[in-house]
Amino acid sequence: MNNNEVPELRSIWDEAKGHIERGEYDKAVEIYKYIIIRYADNAIAVEYANAYIGDIYLTTRQHLDLAEKHLKKAATAAPVNQHYHYLLGFTYSVKEQ
């Protein structure tokens, strides 16, 4: 990633955060999906985007299979991040109810 992409990525993250704060979860998910594609060479950006998508799906209790898929990708990218494992476990719990 070159230095010109850093401000763009920060701007995109801020936009997604704004959508989440306004409850516009579908728009935020689309932005995170864009990040996964556009910044595929940035492992941290992809990790966080997958985690946020999984968290959104878990929060809305919609698309729990997709929540699981994205949280697994985040946990695989950062296996020591306990928060991802917690969210994944919570997803399994919600799916069982």
Instruction: Tell me the HSE value of 60 on the side-chain side, using a 13 A CA sphere.
Output: 18
> What's the average model confidence in pLDDT over 69-94?
96
> What CATH code is carried by the domain that includes residue 29?
1.25.40.10
The yes-or-no verdict on residue 3 having pLDDT over 60 is: no
4: exposed, middle or buried (Cβ count in 10 Å: 0-12, 13-18, 19+): exposed
Domain count, the chain: 1
> Domain of 31?
5-96
The yes-or-no verdict on residue 97 having pLDDT over 90 is: no
The pTM (predicted TM-score) of the whole model is 0.90
Percent of the chain residues topping a pLDDT of 90: 88
